[in-house]
Structure 1
Amino acid sequence: MNKLKTEYLFFRQQEHNMKVLLITNLFYALVLPVVEIFVGAYVMRNTSDPTMVAFYQLAMYLGIVTTSFVNGFLLRYYNVKTLYSAGILVSGLSMFAMMTIKSLGMVELGIAGFFMGAASGFFWTNRYLLALNNTNDDNRNYFFGLESFFFSITSIGVPLVIGAFLSLMNGKEFWGIVFDINMSYQAVTLGVVFITLIACSVLWKGNFKNPQE
């Protein structure tokens, strides 16, 4: 407990923007495993076609490349935390929209995949930009070390929790509603949207500036 207290006190001593960014990334670390694992599993379950999964992944990579390319131009007109928030929010909203569509075809998967990739592109591009601009040589290793710890723990814990949730909820009845596997996935995505809203609200407490050209 003394070590945890020491770590907490050390964290409190850091710059305000760095603390805001770390807390934001901690919340989003809860979302990433859902994006990386369960969306592909959902597509496979509802299409039973590996080709559809591959097409979804291709659209997603296209979205990543596109937004990573245009992000630099958008920074001339929008604050970096606006673009970062867009990446966080769109990931949750596009996931929820895809899981509420009754029939997944090539068009639906292409659009959903592109927007999911666009969200990832905005997130990662602006994450690295904010991290570099709001850390220095004295605390950069601490920032990336603590962030990597968050991502490592959640990449293990979140899939276990969600997998158990999906198994337990399938076929259960609550308030007269029988949950099938798709409704369980939708419940997970509602939780994801809620977490992304919290992450964005935390991010907006920071005073982040765009890089000077």
Structure 2
Amino acid sequence: MPNRLHGKHQFFAGLQFPTNYTAGYSFRFHPHLAVQAQGGIATSSFIHLLTPIGLDPNLSRLMSKSFRGGRMVSLGLTGYTKSRWYAGVYGQHLRFSARSITLADGLSTYFMNDLTSIVFLNSPWLVFNLDSTFWITGIRIGHSWQPVHSRFSFEAELSMGKIVASQNTFSTNQLWLNQLATDGHFFSQMDKGMDQEIRRYGFLPAITVLFTYPAW
């Protein structure tokens, strides 16, 4: 985060590509240390980063179809050198809201096999909903620039995050099927399988560009 003076409060906003739009607050409580809190609007485009490194294509398609958008909150700790370079660690909580998916998509994920070509499984009378929450930890390194005679500054960061846990909640538009799937541990098995895949392949590189302004 920003190359601030001791005790300075600062607000920032920007883009963390490819995951979210973010804004937050930072407090430099020591000449070489600062804490940050931020929130943002998340996108599901990060899913395309996971498929080339091994995420099951059926799960990737399921997530792409299901995730409508999400919210992100994050806490971080940053250390500064005497120059404008800095490095830090962070933790994120990322939650995605649901969009309806078909029975074919759900079963494809459960059996790890593409069943979308089976016509009756794509019937609109029976749909699944998926809500997912991810917990992410990561490291970052950045550099700040401040124009001459300006209080504003700009920052660029490279970061690498890792999904360390997830919680995935499934439901359908049919109450009888919800009960059947719960009693038969169908949904819990889908959650377990999805969590294992995401934690295994959940590496999230990002490029962040921030605009910062000192509050006081």
- Tell me which interval the TM-score lies in, with the shorter structure as reference length: under 0.3
Kindly indicate which of the two structures has a greater share of residues assigned to strand.
2
Structure of higher RCO (CA pairs closer than 8 Å, 6+ residues apart): 1
Please report the TM-score for the alignment, with normalisation by the length of structure 2: 0.24
Kindly indicate which of the two structures has a greater share of residues assigned to helix.
1
